[in-house]
C-alpha cells in the first residue's frame, strides 16, 4: 500500500518494499519526491528520515525548477527543433503527398498537405520521432541483454511528464519517454540500461547502484547531463504508444 508524507508544501509518496534501507529520490522534470522504505519501517520513522533530508529535497527541486525548458513548438518556418542532441531549423513544405520529415545538415524539412494545422504538424513529427526511437532502441536492448543477463519481453514508448523511463519488473517490460529522441544517443542508451537494470533489481537500492557501477560506470555523468538539458514543454499526455 502506498502512503504519503506531507511536509509543508512537499508531498512524498512512500512505497514499502523488500529492501534493507530507506531510499529517497527527487524525480525530473517536476521534482516529485518518492521514498522507498523496508516493509517493516514505521511511517513516523520514514517521516523523520524525510525531515532530516528536507534541505536536500528542496535543493534538488530548486535545480529542476531552474532547468531550462523548451517553449511549446509552433511548427513554423525556421523554428528550432532537436534530434539526437543536434539543433535543426524547421522548413515547411506543403504538398499533396504523404506527410514526411527529413533532415539535412542543419535543416529539418516537414512536408504536410496544404492547410494542415499545428496539431497535424505536431503529430507528423511525433510519429517520425517514434520511428527513430523504434529504430534505435531494439539495437540497444539486444546489445545489453547478454551483458546484464536479462530479457526485455517488450518495450513501449510513452509521453511522460515525470520520468525518462520506467520498468515493470514482473512483466519484464520497460517504458521510455519519447522526449529522449531529442537528447544525444548516449543518453538514450543510459536510460535503456537503467531501466533494464531494474529487471534485476526493482528499486534504487545499493545493489542497483552496484549493477550500474559495474556495467555502466559513467552513469552518474550521463544522469547529470540528461537532467541539465532542456526539458520538454508541459503540453504532454501520458498515453502509451
Strand partners, 167: 174
Give the pLDDT score at 241: 35
Which grid coordinates are listed for 197? Answer: 537494470
Tell me the domains of the chain and their CATH numbers.
3-65 (no CATH), 117-228 (3.30.2010.10)
Buried b or exposed e, range 121-152, using 16+ CB within 10 angstroms: beebbeebbeebbeebbeebbeebeeebebeb
CB 233 within 8 A of CB 180: no
Ranges of residues in the chain with a pLDDT under 70 are 1, 29, 66-70, 162, 230-241
pLDDT at position 61, please? 85
Q: Which three cell numbers stand for residue 161?
A: 511528464
Q: What is the pLDDT of residue 53?
A: 92
| Strands lying side by side in the sheet with 154-158 | 154-158, 173-177, 165-168
Place of cell 504532454: 236
Taking the C-alpha atoms of residue 192 and residue 122, their distance in angstroms, rounded to an integer, is 25
pLDDT of res. 65: 72
Kindly write down the DSSP assignment for every residue of 70-137, as one continuous string: PPPP---TT-EEEETTEEEEEEEEE-SS--EEEE-SSEEEEEE-TT--HHHHHHHHHHHHHHHHHHHH
Question: What would the pLDDT profile of 41-52 be if each residue is shown by its tens digit?
Answer: 999 999 999 999
Q: What pLDDT sits at residue 29?
A: 66
Residue 228 has what pLDDT? 74
Cell numbers at residue 131, please? 520511428
Amino acid at each position: 500500500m502506498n502512503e504519503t508524507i506531507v511536509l509543508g508544501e512537499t508531498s512524498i509518496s512512500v512505497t514499502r518494499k523488500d529492501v534493507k534501507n530507506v531510499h529517497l529520490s527527487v524525480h525530473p522534470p517536476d521534482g516529485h519526491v518518492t521514498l522507498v522504505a523496508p516493509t517493516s519501517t514505521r511511517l513516523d520513522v520514514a517521516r523523520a528520515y524525510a525531515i532530516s533530508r528536507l534541505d536536500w529535497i528542496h535543493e534538488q527541486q530548486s535545480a529542476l525548477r531552474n532547468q531550462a525548458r523548451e517553449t511549446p513548438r509552433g511548427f513554423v518556418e525556421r523554428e528550432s527543433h532537436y534530434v539526437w542532441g543536434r539543433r535543426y531549423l524547421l522548413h515547411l513544405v506543403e504538398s499533396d503527398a504523404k506527410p514526411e520529415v527529413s533532415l539535412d545538415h542543419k535543416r529539418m524539412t516537414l512536408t504536410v498537405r496544404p492547410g494542415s494545422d499545428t496539431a497535424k504538424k505536431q503529430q507528423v513529427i511525433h510519429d517520425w520521432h517514434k520511428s527513430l526511437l523504434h529504430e534505435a532502441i531494439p539495437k540497444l536492448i539486444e546489445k545489453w541483454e547478454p551483458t546484464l543477463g536479462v530479457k526485455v519481453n517488450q518495450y513501449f514508448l510513452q509521453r511522460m511528464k515525470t520520468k525518462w523511463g520506467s520498468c515493470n519488473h514482473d512483466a519484464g517490460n520497460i517504458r521510455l519517454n519519447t522526449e529522449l529522441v531529442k537528447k544525444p544517443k548516449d543518453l538514450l542508451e543510459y536510460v535503456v540500461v537503467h531501466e533494464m537494470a531494474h529487471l534485476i533489481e526493482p528499486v534504487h537500492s545499493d545493489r542497483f547502484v552496484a549493477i550500474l557501477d559495474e556495467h555502466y560506470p559513467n552513469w552518474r555523468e550521463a544522469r547529470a547531463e540528461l537532467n541539465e538539458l532542456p526539458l520538454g514543454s508541459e503540453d504532454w499526455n501520458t498515453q502509451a504508444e
